[in-house]
Amino acid sequence: MTPPIPPSDPPRVALVTYSTKPRGGVVHTLSLAEAMVEGGMPVRVVSLGDPDHDPDHHPDKGFYRPVRAPYTLVPAPEPRETLEERVFASVDALEQGLASIADEVDIFHTQDCISARAAARVRDAGADVRVVRTVHHVDDFTTAALIECQRQAILEPDQLVVVSQDWRTRLHADYGRTAVVIHNGVDATRFPPIEPARRDALRHELGLSDRFIFLAVGGIEPRKGSVYLLQALAILARDLDRAPALVVVGGHSFQDYSAYRDDALAMLPDLGLELGRDVILAGTVSDAALHGYYRSADALAFPSVKEGWGLAVLEAMTADLPVVASDIPVLHEYLTDHETAVLTRVGDPQSLADGLREVVTDAALRAQLIEGGRSLVPEYSWERAAREHQMLYAEAERGPCGGDNEPRDASTIGAHAHTKMDVPAKVEGL
């Protein structure tokens, strides 16, 4: 009788991202890495950043929050003038960093086009690694060089993952690639209730103690539908006796949306809105400060025109915020109108204003949405996402799983290092 083949050691995985700032892909990367560590998987995070940062005295130079997983920071390039120059310099820098640790990992799991191009170069230079990429969404680049760079970042990896069925369909139609769907998770304990005094103090500090506050997460940029939100807010300012206010947090982006932001803010006087009174820009904030904003607002406004998944929606639900969102296909995958969110027509300020008004004026609806969110959140945990990634990596180790595979979805995947680099870098532990 042939003895059974003993199980092989789990593959060593590096989750690779381009930034230490609180953008959606970075939030995903850190949360997933931590869930993997808790599950006993050999994983580290690799990112461009400042390898000489001191997390105790200069936390702004490392990741935006403490990380409960091993990580390596690769020296980021000096700032460049154009987006093209920034992208290609970042690819070059990350390639150098990944090459120096390639013999210590089996899988580079990249989270964006920059890290995917860098990892593919290292593999193609002879490193014995597989390249997996999670495509959160496809950016709207405008130059031929960046469009081609993004295309190659989708074609070159050995395996693609997406966080929604919508993007699985898009990638197959636009690039001929088949991706595995593994939904995002959310940490249900990340934004627990805060003391009423802290909530009152923040609202007072904002000058909004007696106003209904909509929170928008992600800054002012085209993909977030920010202009439509401002126009909708202006409609409510005319229609309601006490106009709601908007607080916008976030906004750090590799791309430069300053022209869009400036144009949007220049609209405010004509809309009858005032910056600092009706619209508050909080900017990029710490995780602790974000906690305060989530727990001090009255509802989340999320009128995006494009999303990979919409992490802020689930985050808001963990903080007991009712949600008003656009009806784009990806949000329809997990939201039900007037049960878990009020869904409004994408790109339609009047429809958005109608949805916002409902939430402002109907306390029973708000309570229903909060309960709907509480019921939805447990379906999406990072522990579940980590298990599905573990199964994906095990499949990858057993044999080829490139773009020519038979189509698969999440149901086939799951149930629903400390080193010193040759280039100057710093590795942080748990």
| Residue 104 belongs to domain with CATH number | 3.40.50.2000
Q: Is residue 4 part of a domain?
A: no
Check whether 349 has a pLDDT greater than 70.
yes
Q: Are residues 236 and 100 in the same domain?
A: no
Q: What is the pLDDT of residues 255-277, one digit of tens each?
A: 678 899 999 999 999 999 999 99
266, 375: one domain: yes
Per-residue pLDDT of 373-395, as tens digits, reads 999 999 999 999 999 999 999 88
Q: Could you identify the residue written with the tokens 């202006």?
A: 234
Check: CB of residue 129 under 8 Å from CB of residue 98. no
Phi, psi at residue 257, to the nearest 5°? -105, 20
DSSP string covering 129-187:
-EEEEEE-------SHHHHHHHHHHHHSSSEEEESSHHHHHHHHHHH---EEE------
The verdict on 30 and 89 lying in the same domain is yes
Which residues span the domain enclosing 57?
13-185+381-428
In a 3-state reduction of DSSP, which class is residue 72? strand
Map residue 385 onto helix, strand or coil. Answer: helix
Domain contains 398: yes
Question: Widest CA span of the chain, in angstroms?
Answer: 83
154 and 31 co-located in one domain:
yes
Is 409 within the bounds of a domain?
yes
* Joined tokens for residue 273: 């809105």
Task: Tell me which of 341, 361, 379 is where a domain ends.
Answer: 379
- Residues 289-321: pLDDT tens digits? 999 999 999 999 999 999 999 999 999 999 999
Same structural domain, 368 and 422? no
**Is residue 148 located within the same domain as residue 201?**
no
257 residue type, one letter? Y
Average pLDDT over residues 170-192: 96
Both 349 and 399 in one domain: the answer is no
Helix pair angle (226-239, 258-266), 10° resolution: 10
216 bridge partner residues: 248
Do 358 and 228 reside in the same domain of the chain? Answer: yes
Residues 252 and 401 in one domain: no
- Residue 403 and residue 354 share a domain: no
Q: Pairing between strand 71-75 and 107-110?
A: unpaired
Query: Do residues 52 and 35 both lie within one domain?
Result: yes
pLDDT digits (tens, 9 = 90+) for 103-145: 999 999 999 999 999 999 999 999 999 999 999 999 888 889 9
Residue 16 has pLDDT above 90, yes or no: yes
Report how many domains make up the chain.
2
Contact 137, 306 (CB under 8 A): yes
Interacting residues of 284 by C-beta distance below 8 A, sequence separation 6+:
21, 22, 64, 219, 249, 250, 251, 252
Mean pLDDT of the chain: 89
Identify whether 221 is part of a domain.
Answer: yes
Whether 92 and 238 map to the same domain: the answer is no
